[in-house]
Amino acid sequence: MNKTYIPALILVSLLATLHFIASAYSLYVRYPGYDIMMHILGGVGIAVSVHWFFLTFFKNTKVSFWKVVLIVFLIGLAWELFEAYYDITGAPVGTPAHYRDAIKDLFNDTLGAVVGVFFLRKK
């Protein structure tokens, strides 16, 4: 039986807990590195979750490295669009600072996905 759901649940639960704590205590504003850590952790958690999803619901499909990384990138892109739509980004939407922050976030999401896939390959 595929037990990839265990680290997926742990990572997503940890991510949600850290986000609620960060929101309550303004950690995203106080510590700029917190956002970086959260995007990397989010990339890892989503990568492990995507891997579990494919193994569980598409048993005969090969779960490739690039498929997982691409899906995590697309989810990260959707998140950046969500932030822009609701104007909850680190900088005013449409400014160079906003685009730099979005690119940095997408890079960190993707880095987290790569770490997540390597974690799964080691298991």
Per-residue pLDDT of 65-82, as tens digits, reads 999 999 999 999 999 999
Please provide the DSSP assignment of 26-84 as one string.
THHHH-HHHHHHHHHHHHHHHHHHHHHHHHHH-TTS---HHHHHHHHHHHHHHHHHHHH
CA–CA dist 26, 69 (Å, integer): 30
pLDDT at 17 > cutoff 70:
yes
CA–CA dist 29, 63 (Å, integer): 37
Q: Given this model, what pLDDT does residue 16 score?
A: 96
- Each residue's pLDDT tens digit, 22-68: 999 999 989 989 999 999 999 999 999 999 999 889 887 888 999 99
Per-position b or e across 14-25, b if 16+ CB within 10 A of its CB:
ebeebbeebeee
Angle (nearest 5°) at CA 120 between 48 and 66: 70
Residue 72: both structure tokens together: 């995590």
Rounded mean pLDDT, 8-14: 94
Residue 75: CB atoms within 10 A of its CB come to: 18
